[in-house]
Structure 1
Amino acid sequence: MTPDIVVIGGGNAALCAAMTAAEQGAQVLILETAPKPYRGGNSRHTRNFRCMHHGPLGPLVDSYTEEEYLADLMKVTGGKTDVALARLAIRSSEECLPWMQDHGVRFQPSLSGTLSLARTNAFFLGGGKSLVNAYYRTAERLGVQVAYEAAVTHLELEDDRIAWVDYTQNGESRRLTPKAVIVASGGFQADTDWLARAWGPAARNFLIRGTPYNRGVVLADLLEQGVAQVGDPTQCHAVAIDGRAPKFDGGIVTRLDCVPFSIVVNKDAQRFHDEGEDVWPKRYAIWGRLVAAQPDQVGYVIIDAKSLNLFMPSVFPPIKADTLEDLAKAMGLPEDKLAKTVATFNAACGDTSNFHPTELDGVATTGLAIPKTNWARPITEPPFYGYSLRTGVTFTYLGLKVDERAQCAIGNRPVSNLWAAGETMAGSILGQGYLAGFGMTIGTVFGRIAGKEAAAHAS
């Protein structure tokens, strides 16, 4: 039987859309490219949801207002956002958290410590994999059907509507003619050739933190047919991750949180950016792009013993040495240049008595061309530790342009039965940069909107 609604993708946004549509009485089929053990896209690797709230809400303490949330977003995007859609996502997030709990998601008690997120971000008990599994269980109870290893190859656009959906499964080509389609199949980051076309050859050195199944097939198909696009193909959520991470699917555990307490150098042992620019959840996403601009797209973190326990432990142990020279040798860095860089940095450090690892402390260097504006302490206490950094791409921002109903368009004309949610349309709000937990907010808010609108259309 042909479903009322086909949802393309199997992550958070797709599941929120599918559950919402099913609750409105629609028959829903999810087409998930991945095999069942790898279902859930990048959502498997997530940890938290950024949420506006007036007063304590669930695991969140105090309050986090719409204006403060928007200011945080404007800071990381440099103002490159659709403010109306951003406000919609922010404002809707408050009602999403109890909705998520009602649909099976469990949250950890509020966090304290290095992340400073107890007020802004609710963390999933068991991480993103638990969230995904909870949603699949709820979706099944609601009658949502799921086809795994179902790779959508084409959506046929006729005038202002999608006439059919083609996909392959078990080596067979299949076709569906649903009343409505929701695209929630992510960006194109797992297609290294597409990344290289956008970024240049340097992109071949990038690591892909998320699923290898987000190759942008549906996105490319719709853009080629004239569906309105948004975003810059060179913009993405990219963070600096452990250089020893796998090419694909290393996930969130490959992230390194040590940058604020370090100096970061390139292969010539030269610093290239202020490591203490802001608290880590707001600034960590700039480091992927910074590393991408360095020779061979690699950077190196240098810390000493007194900083080792100030950040979340890494999945791979750091390189350790008793002297800076030995550390340089072990990391393949020029020994004399690293020693000089560290000595120059140390000499520029002043009074460190106000050092405070979880907030902007103003403990800064003086006289350096590239300052360190917070957490600047001399690197003097052996043993010394190092990590290599590579650019880890989470998702790309080129996507489908949507309105406040999550509906896609050709020019200014809506496609009558096509909606988009999640990373596929996140470029509408994220012009550049990233705010921790905001991808899940976008997926949840616009997944619910898309599900509601598609179900209304189908009925």
Structure 2
Amino acid sequence: MPIRDKTYDVLVAGGGNAALCAAITARQAGASVILVESAPKAFRGGNSRHTRNLRAMHDKPNAVLTDAYTEDEYWDDLLRVTGGNTDESLARMTIRASSGLFGWMRANGVRFQPSLTGTLNLGRTNAFFLGGGKALVNAYYLTAARLGVEILYDSEVISLNMDNGAVRSIDITWRGFPETLHARCVVASAGGFQANLDWMRQYWGDAVDNFVIRGTPYNRGGVLRNMLGQGVAAIGDPTQCHAVALDARAPKFDGGITTRLDSVPFSVVVNRNGDRFYDEGEDVWPKRYAIWGRLIAQQPEQIAYSICDARAFPLFMPSVFPAIVADTLEELAMKLKLDPAKLRDTIDAFNKAVKPGQVFDGSKLDGNATEGLAPNKTNWARAVDKPPFYGYPLRPGITFTYLGVRVNDKAQVLMDNGKPTGNLFASGEIMAGNILGKGYLAGFGMTIGTVFGRIAGQEAARRARN
């Protein structure tokens, strides 16, 4: 067993995008860096392995994004999805910083693919990583290793031992063996607590048994709980989380992006009782997909069903699991274990409420709405009447929780008394609640992690040198 008795300049707790950005930036600033990743090497990278893109401000077209996406539009999008539950100063700082990320990311091994077209509506706002999140994570690990960052896999931070607002030592386990490390500064980038089902149960009760954790099983919230237990200021509602509609046939953990269902805007969604419960066409999918997990979590048995016909089926990316198909709605209901008469009544009522003469356009908000329903569908309302019919069972898919630690614009973690800690910084999901009080914008989690990872790494290296 190696003896690590040196004092590092910076210890980074975590192994995903935010942690890697912090570690690389600190090392490039001249600091000695050790990164502690709880997962084994084959599963390194946290939730970042399952990502695809990053949302970035830009004033004109560039190599990977079309048109322009200004600060004010970006801020307006964020304001709408969060309902104002955000720190405007930190949010705007993040938005502005997003415009300058591409050069740094490319210099550290990340490659981008050409802008997307189609119904995702992301070609103007989101830059997609060539090879997805796994390729991004691998590129950053190669860069970190080349720069001399020491990386520990199968290692868990057990305690950040704090005294008088500063971390004095760090207790970890390395491949099951206890160790104590010393570092002049620490960056906490260890994610939320969504994989800790006992902790989740405190807020959701037994409903968590029907939740699917779409990301890593290693985000159990140990670092977060340890910090909150030592007087670090909390931020965010523990019941709030990034939760999407996943195929109910997905594995309990680590199913990733392929298990997400994008059918909702072009379908009718019913609960276990065969009733609609929310406007499927409220907004374009990147601005509203992350509310559907929470909506489904509030339904009986935490399950729902997306129903569409042959006209709608080609309009969305399918799940990795095949759709359930039938020639009639009654047959589809039986396959989904729904009441056939109830589903027929719900679909018939929906079809009758669709306004005649509307021109369907799946690429934008088309204003095609129903009349007289509660709730109405406000966009992309079109009769579900062309066989065959398709159905998907849906479960709440939890990506990350919003309870985190409060930070300032230097990524310093704040104590309960409002004072910044002496040498503790944070980036990524563990502090995203400062900006995402609720709701989500596609790609924004990666933006927060990249921006604050770089800030935390820079500030930690500067503090360590001084």
Scaled to the shorter chain, the TM-score interval is: over 0.9
1:3 Cα shift? 1.8
Supply the distance in 2 between the matched residues of 1:160 and 1:226 (Cα, whole angstroms): 9
Please tell me the residue identity of whatever aligns with 2:430.
T
Which secondary structure does the structure 2 equivalent of 1:248 belong to? coil
1:203 Cα shift? 2.1
Please tell me the residue identity of whatever aligns with 2:411.
A
Alignment counterpart, residue 10 of structure 1, candidates 15, 27, 40? 15
Q: After TM superposition, what 4+ stretches of structure 1 lie above 6 angstroms from structure 2?
A: none
Kindly indicate whether the alpha-carbon contact (under 8 Å) linking 1:43 and 1:129 is maintained by their aligned counterparts in 2.
yes
Alignment counterpart, residue 202 of structure 1, candidates 194, 199, 207? 207
In structure 2, the partner of 1:438 is 444
In structure 1, the partner of 2:38 is 33
When the two chains are superposed, the root-mean-square deviation of aligned CA atoms in Å is: 0.8
Please tell me the residue identity of whatever aligns with 2:454.
R
Kindly indicate whether the alpha-carbon contact (under 8 Å) linking 2:328 and 2:387 is maintained by their aligned counterparts in 1.
yes
In structure 2, the partner of 1:147 is 152
Kindly indicate whether the alpha-carbon contact (under 8 Å) linking 1:352 and 1:376 is maintained by their aligned counterparts in 2.
no
Q: Give structure 2 stretches of 5+ with no counterpart.
A: 1-5
In structure 2, the partner of 1:112 is 117
1:428 aligns with 2:448: no
Which secondary structure does the structure 1 equivalent of 2:306 belong to? strand
Identity rate of aligned residues, in percent? 61
Supply the distance in 2 between the matched residues of 1:235 and 1:58 (Cα, whole angstroms): 36
Alignment counterpart, residue 377 of structure 2, candidates 372, 378, 390? 372
Deviation track 1:211-264 (CA, whole Å, cap 9, x = no partner) reads 000000010011011111100100010001100000000001111011011000
Which secondary structure does the structure 1 equivalent of 2:100 belong to? helix
Supply the distance in 2 between the matched residues of 1:185 and 1:163 (Cα, whole angstroms): 19
Alignment counterpart, residue 42 of structure 1, candidates 14, 37, 47? 47
Please tell me the residue identity of whatever aligns with 1:433.
G
Deviation track 1:162-206 (CA, whole Å, cap 9, x = no partner) reads 000000112210001100000000000000011110222212211
Kindly indicate whether the alpha-carbon contact (under 8 Å) linking 1:352 and 1:377 is maintained by their aligned counterparts in 2.
no
Please tell me the residue identity of whatever aligns with 1:169.
W
In structure 1, the partner of 2:3 is none
Supply the distance in 1 between the matched residues of 2:72 and 2:183 (Cα, whole angstroms): 40
Supply the distance in 2 between the matched residues of 1:137 and 1:71 (Cα, whole angstroms): 37
Supply the distance in 2 between the matched residues of 1:158 and 1:261 (Cα, whole angstroms): 55
In structure 2, the partner of 1:245 is 250
Which secondary structure does the structure 2 equivalent of 1:329 belong to? helix
Kindly indicate whether the alpha-carbon contact (under 8 Å) linking 1:239 and 1:391 is maintained by their aligned counterparts in 2.
yes
In structure 2, the partner of 1:188 is 193
Bigger shift: residues 408-417 or 15-24: 408-417
Supply the distance in 2 between the matched residues of 1:154 and 1:38 (Cα, whole angstroms): 23
In structure 2, the partner of 1:456 is 462
Q: Give structure 1 stretches of 5+ with no counterpart.
A: none
**What aligned pairs does 1:128-167 form with structure 2 within 5 A after superposition?**
128-167=133-172
Supply the distance in 2 between the matched residues of 1:435 and 1:296 (Cα, whole angstroms): 27
In structure 2, the partner of 1:74 is 79
Kindly indicate whether the alpha-carbon contact (under 8 Å) linking 2:7 and 2:184 is maintained by their aligned counterparts in 1.
no
Supply the distance in 2 between the matched residues of 1:138 and 1:367 (Cα, whole angstroms): 58
1:309 aligns with 2:314: yes
Which secondary structure does the structure 1 equivalent of 2:119 belong to? coil
Please tell me the residue identity of whatever aligns with 2:184.
K
Please tell me the residue identity of whatever aligns with 2:442.
A
Which secondary structure does the structure 1 equivalent of 2:311 belong to? helix
1:40 Cα shift? 0.2
Deviation track 1:344-372 (CA, whole Å, cap 9, x = no partner) reads 10111122541001100011111112101
Supply the distance in 1 between the matched residues of 2:318 and 2:147 (Cα, whole angstroms): 40
In structure 2, the partner of 1:271 is 276
1:413 aligns with 2:419: yes
Kindly indicate whether the alpha-carbon contact (under 8 Å) linking 1:352 and 1:363 is maintained by their aligned counterparts in 2.
no
In structure 2, the partner of 1:390 is 395
Between the two proteins, the alignment pairs up a number of residues equal to 459
1:116 Cα shift? 1.1
